[in-house]
Amino acid sequence: MSQLDDIDKRIGARIRIERESRGWSLTELAERSAVSRAMIHKIERGESSPTATLLGKLSGAFSLSMSALMARAEMQRGRFLRKGEQPVWVDPQTGYERRHVSPKSDLPLDLVRIELPAGAEVSMPASAYAFVRQLIWVLAGQLTFLEGDTKHPMSPGDCLELGPPTDCVFKNESGEPCVYAVLVLRNA
């Protein structure tokens, strides 16, 4: 079993745990997330690798950020996390690579490194941002961040605090990969 297959299985198991802990059926989660019941079933069984957009919808239905959902699936407690131990997940649709950099701790924040391939685009629903505050910091390349109707062209060194929850799109319209960090501050 590859590391990506293992992560997909842990993500699926975590989604099932979150759903069952709330007493929700597959149908109820499907209605709350706008993800089909069949797709949720495949994800929970580890038979399908979810896209970033699907994870955003599912996490929003649970009143969690995508970062919090992924951390619950990926992380063990500790104050130190070596690069080789940092969980990496790749969106099968876009090649978007998400590396959870910060150790799982009692701190109310997560630090995530994203690499968005050239020409790739990932959308996130407003529900994925409803319970957190975030900063996006571009480390390399060019990022076009659409926050509702507002367009934010971003270059290396630029940092943006996200506003009130709205549907968002991360776009790399260049011919080179874009690397950015997302700092997620969880509501305590």
Q: Kindly report, residue by residue over 93-133, the tens digit of the pLDDT.
A: 999 999 989 887 767 888 999 999 999 999 988 887 777 78
| CA atoms of 114 and 54, how far apart (whole Å) | 17
Stated pTM of the model? 0.73
Question: Bigger pLDDT: 147 or 65?
Answer: 147
b vs e for 103-134, b when ≥16 Cβ sit within 10 Å of the residue's Cβ?
bbeeeeebbbbbbbbeebbbbbbebbbebbbb
Instruction: List CB contacts of 3: < 8 A, sequence separation 6 or more.
Output: 88
pLDDT digits (tens, 9 = 90+) for 56-73: 899 889 888 777 787 777
Instruction: Give the mean pLDDT of 147-162.
Output: 97
CA distances to 68, 111, 188 from 81, in Å: 17, 12, 23
Find residue 110's DSSP bridge partners. Answer: 184
Find residue 160's DSSP bridge partners. Answer: 136
Nearest to 102 by CA among 128, 73, 84, 81: 81
pLDDT band at 188 (very low <50, low <70, confident <90, very high): low
Instruction: Give the mean pLDDT of 16-23.
Output: 90
| CA atoms of 68 and 151, how far apart (whole Å) | 26
Q: What is the mean pLDDT of the chain?
A: 88
**What pLDDT sits at residue 183?**
94
Tokens at 57, concatenated: 């919808």
- Amino acid identity, residue 45? R
